[in-house]
Amino acid sequence: MSSADFLAGLLEGAVATSAAMVVVLLLRGAVRNWLGASAAYLMWLMVPAALFAVWLPAPRLTTVPMAATDMAVQVGQTIPDAAAALSEGVPGWLALWLAGALLMAVWLLWQQRHFMRGLGSLTQRDDGHWQAQTVAGLPAIVGVLRPRIVVPADFEQRYNAEERELVMLHEQLHLRRGDLWVNAALALLQCVYWFNPLLGPAVRRCREDQELSCDERVIAHTAGARRSYGNAMLKTGLALSPLPVGCHWQNQHPLKERIAMLERPVPGKKQWLAMVVLSAGLCGGVGYTAWAAQPGTAAMTEAGAVYATRVQADADGTQQQFELHQPVGKPFAFTLESANGVKWDAEFTVVPAEAGKLHLQGTLKADGVLVSSPELLVAAGKMAAVEVTTRGGSSLLALKLQTDEVGGSSKAASSGKISVEPEAGENDPTTDRMTPPVYPKAAFENGVSGKVVLRIEVDAEGQPTDVKVETSQPEGVFDTAAVEAARQWKFNPAQKDGQAVAGAVRVPVWFDLDESATHTEESTGG
């Protein structure tokens, strides 16, 4: 995953979780009044549901033509300058995010250590719990991997027996429900999405709902103990500092709201059922919406087909013409340097669309910086044009693309054997990379084999400068495929006195349907 992809995923997650948090913040009060505090707490599951949804593979879409015409139809837009600026500044943005995440992690760690140090030395009690030397913010649960219930120094003196039982039940419910892990996940979200202004208030409201829900469960387990539980709340000292990973009596706890909630009836079975159904429905709806909102990936309707794309490129007056072959859905790429010294990198993918049209999706980069992501809907065999400039206008790239199917399925492509055997004398160019040509569809379907002998002029940089057919059998059947492939080959140039020089090489290319066929014929370099 590239840095740009990581940042894009980070922003998608921020948008999805923000939308979920807004929904919860708007509904939590009404849901708590209708179904109880536990229902409001369950609603926060929408946030991780939305986050996980954007991590799932994007929905597959069938490309639909926008107009019935032989002209290319532009269905994508060139990236605006703001997006180009963001692309150019990816390392800076990534460094800024990392710095913010580290600072937030340090801040939360400091809060955690400050709270723990404030407890003084802990002494294990006969009941297995731990007793602190202070009272503020206690009782509390600390630690995630080794959770411990910590009670205040005056636990026995502060509470009577019934109140102590209720307070311990409250903490044990936190443990059984996994609230410690919830709070640890909230702390992690604060580090990752530190730049989201909505996250801080949402975390506070979530932990308030967590405590109200736990209070509600205590009352449900101990009918008739409302007054004693209320007295225990009033006797408990609020914390002087936060505890990011843990459960404690925070100084921002809505004590009046917690006391008032004790007067409400405990939700019955019907309310519990409605609570579960509502929570599952909202989580599923928000998750599906976040998933469906992702940019779709085009469905491949003709997997295995092979396409030829003829490219006419003009970069600031530097012109090139060539043809590239690629299977459906597989990217093909090319690079050219403009007269102004700007290196253009282009990558396109061909996907069949409906009504016999083709969907070309691509990226264009200038000196490694993303400039445009064109998407074209074009009729097979018809010319499509793309023209883009760098952000500052220092370079202009004009492309004309014409794509048509030239090969059958992947099964057919693997049935025939194409042999490429270069030849070279001592000082002649030798092969560095030679991709076999595509077997012509008509020849393959008719069971035709053949041979083409090419003479290739190679410059001192190993690039073919001229490709000619010396002989071909049968004549004219495989010539085009062999020449098109040869123009993309790369050679190690000939050497003279230790220096690279221009040269020539004669390359026989066999097109064989018999996979076991071998060729040992030799010829000399030119």
Q: What are phi and psi of 311, to 5 degrees?
A: -120, 130
What would the two tokens of residue 439 be? 């077997």
pLDDT of 195 > 90? The answer is yes
CB 433 within 8 A of CB 337: no
pLDDT recorded at residue 498: 77
Measured between alpha carbons, how far is residue 318 from residues 92, 337, 486 in Å? 33, 8, 21
62-74 burial code (b ≥16 CB/10 A, e <16): ebebeeeeeebbb
370-391 burial code (b ≥16 CB/10 A, e <16): bbbebbbbbbeebebebebbbb
Structural fold of domain 416-512: TolA/TonB C-terminal domain (3.30.2420)
pLDDT recorded at residue 11: 87
Mean pLDDT of 181-206: 94
DSSP letter at 295 equals P
Mean pLDDT of 435-450: 77
Q: For residue 189, what are the contacts with CB-CB under 8 A and spacing of at least 6?
A: 17, 47, 199, 203
Residue with tokens 């097109």: 511
What percentage of the chain exceeds 70 in pLDDT? Answer: 78
Residue with tokens 């001229």: 466
pLDDT recorded at residue 367: 87
pLDDT recorded at residue 431: 57
**Maximum mean pLDDT: which of 171-180, 332-341, 402-411:** 171-180
Domain residues of the chain, as ranges? 306-410, 416-512
pLDDT recorded at residue 250: 62
Residue with tokens 């990226």: 363
pLDDT of 129 > 60? The answer is yes
Least confident of 77-86, 266-275, 289-298, 397-406: 77-86
Mean pLDDT of 249-260: 64
pLDDT recorded at residue 415: 34
DSSP letter at 347 equals E
Tell me the per-residue pLDDT of 16-46, one tens digit each, with 9 for 90 and over.
899 999 999 999 888 888 888 888 898 899 9
pLDDT recorded at residue 63: 36
What would the two tokens of residue 440 be? 């012509």
Q: How confident is the model at residue 66 (pLDDT cuts 50, 70, 90)?
A: very low
Beta-strand runs (E) in 383-513: 383-389, 396-407, 417-420, 430-433, 450-458, 464-473, 490-492, 494-496, 499-501, 503-512
pLDDT recorded at residue 318: 82
Rounded Cα–Cα distance for residues 424 and 506 (Å): 8
DSSP letter at 44 equals G
Mean pLDDT of 375-384: 82
Instruction: Give the predicted TM-score (pTM) of the model.
Output: 0.55
Rounded Cα–Cα distance for residues 292 and 57 (Å): 10
Long-range contacts of 266-274 (CB under 8 A, 24+ apart): 266/36, 266/216, 266/219, 266/220, 266/223, 267/35, 267/36, 267/38, 267/39, 267/216, 267/220, 271/35, 271/36, 271/39, 274/35, 274/39
Least confident of 117-126, 127-136, 322-331: 322-331
pLDDT of 253 > 60? The answer is no
Which is more confident, 329 or 372? 372
Which is more confident, 289 or 42? 42
Mean pLDDT of the chain: 78
pLDDT of 189 > 60? The answer is yes
Which is more confident, 173 or 56? 173
Mean pLDDT of 181-203: 94
What would the two tokens of residue 245 be? 């990973």
CB 396 within 8 A of CB 389: yes
